[in-house]
Amino acid sequence: MNNELRLSLKSIAILAIVLNPLFASDSFKVERKNLEQAFNLSSLPVSDIDAALDYTKGAAKFRFSANNAPWGGYYFPMNQGGISQRWQIRGISESGRARYFYPYNYIKVKVPQSDEEREAGDVARYKYEKISVEQAKERIENLSQEDIDNLSPIEKFDLFKGDYNFKGTMHEKLKNGEYRDGFLPMKYWNGFCNGARAAGALAPEPVKPVTVVNAEGLKITFEPADMKALISASYFYPEYTSYLGQKTDFGRRLNKHAPNAAALDIALRTYMAKHKKAFFMDKDPTHHLSNVTIIGYDREIVKERKIKKKEYKAYKLPKNAVKAVKIVNKIEYLAEVKVKETNGETRHAVASGEHSHFITAKYTLFVDKNNKIIDGRITRRYSGVPFLLGKGVDMIWFAAGEGDYHEWIDFSKEPDANGLYPHAGNKHLDYKSVMQLINQSKIQ
């Protein structure tokens, strides 16, 4: 490494360390409302928040057991087809890109060459053309059972619903998959990570294959990984969500709103440790999103001291705040599990720590003379240098209810001439039909 590069990296590291303590957050008074909303959405008593204001109460350590751990899922990257990826036979071409597949209602045809192209020795070009439903049915009837078993999750779902036009599949390929935006590739980190995390906590785990027969008499077997892919897509838009903090985006904007430390601390000790409910975190401090599930923590009270005068002013603390409590919390989380490892039961592996990752968050709680929390601030939200490692407590979120992908409307866009807003989700992938499959696959 040359001296210029070494100095450049050192400067970035110093800048990151200097900036880190400056990240502001909303006050606990503001964030408490969001925490109460999360409790209400999950039908938990809001009074537990008051009980947990005493920072000395609650479990110092926690990790989910196999009985209540979220299951492990995979984010199905969109630049590899998302849930239209035939994951069981996915190969890598010489260029390093995953091989893509069109559904069986399209056929590959050669584009006619001109005399000049033939004389020049140009390579023949091909395109895909759509065929009729009757032709598609005939093609599928002639497939081997192995070929049908190796279809992508969404292709199988289309056939399960009797859709030989593969509308659900084409939505994924053209809206979320490898052919989105006029065949422009998606980024490697674009996927269903948030849906996989929410589904793993809210839906039963599919653990065994389910075989169904559609109206045409076609036998379709859904592997557990197929069903996990479908329910993860369904939870891409959960029915209900609540947030602590906001997404930080280095390189585009400096968003200073970290989760409030008091709200995070109480959520860990009550929502998770007491009520055995998982919640979620974006751990990437850049414009990327990397959603993970918090599955445990190891909380240590390392120092208690008087509050400094500058802290009263900086954090607008009331006079009844008398003590600052420094806490170091080793947060345990579940990220991506390789797709073939998700093809069955995973809760025991999650509970045993087989898929665990860790970050250390340092924060200060400001409390009154009765040890009741008044406010809090995260003082070290990243492990290492955020610009380089991209790992930390960036945003906390909660989810509840059903998967809403099939009904989700994008109100951030302009309505059409009829006043209708664009449909953002896949209306051909309905939550109840996916759950119909999962309920046959789960542990009874």
Q: Quick one: which of 300, 256, 238, 275 has its CA closest to 64?
A: 275
Contact between 407 and 259 under an 8 Å Cβ cutoff? The reply is no
Question: CA–CA separation, 289 vs 193, rounded Å?
Answer: 8
Quick: pLDDT tens for 268-302. 999 999 999 999 999 877 777 889 999 999 999 99
Integer CA distances (angstroms), 256 to 20, 118, 285, in order: 10, 60, 11
Q: Quick one: which of 233, 379, 370 has its CA closest to 314?
A: 379
Q: Which amino acid is at 258?
A: A
**Per-residue pLDDT at 107:** 82
N-terminal to C-terminal alpha carbon distance within the chain: 58
Q: Which two structure tokens, joined as six digits, stand for 117?
A: 């192209």
Q: Which two structure tokens, joined as six digits, stand for 347?
A: 């809760």
Which stretches in the chain have pLDDT values below 70?
1-25, 90-100, 117-118, 121, 123-124, 177-186, 248-256, 380-391, 410-413, 415-423, 444
**Per-residue pLDDT at 9:** 38
Q: How many residues does the chain have?
A: 444
**Burial tier of 83 (Cβ tally within 10 Å: 0-12, 13-18, 19+):** buried
Question: Taking the domains of the chain in order of start, what are their residue ranges?
Answer: 19-72+239-403, 78-92+131-191+193-235+423-441
**Per-residue pLDDT at 6:** 41
Query: Helix 224-234 to helix 153-160 angle, to the nearest 10 degrees?
Result: 90
**Per-residue pLDDT at 429:** 95
> b vs e for 22-45, b when ≥16 Cβ sit within 10 Å of the residue's Cβ?
ebebbbbeebbebbebbbebbebe
Contact between 404 and 239 under an 8 Å Cβ cutoff? The reply is yes
The pTM assigned to this predicted structure is 0.86
Our CA angle for 100, 160, 146, nearest 5°, is: 55
Q: Quick one: which of 230, 185, 180, 182 has its CA closest to 203?
A: 230
Question: CA–CA separation, 185 vs 264, rounded Å?
Answer: 37
**Per-residue pLDDT at 384:** 55
Q: Quick one: which of 253, 360, 374 has its CA closest to 320?
A: 374
Give the torsion through C-alpha atoms of 117, 121, 122, 123, to 10 deg.
130
**Per-residue pLDDT at 183:** 46
Q: Report helix, strand and coil shares of the chain as percent, to nearest 5.
A: 35, 25, 45
**Per-residue pLDDT at 288:** 77
> b vs e for 150-172, b when ≥16 Cβ sit within 10 Å of the residue's Cβ?
bbbbbbbbbbbbebbebbbbbbb
**Per-residue pLDDT at 48:** 97
Question: CA–CA separation, 235 vs 404, rounded Å?
Answer: 6
Question: CA–CA separation, 212 vs 215, rounded Å?
Answer: 10
3-class state of residue 212 by DSSP: strand
**Per-residue pLDDT at 114:** 76
Q: Which residues contact 102 (CB under 8 A, 6 or more apart)?
A: 108, 128, 173
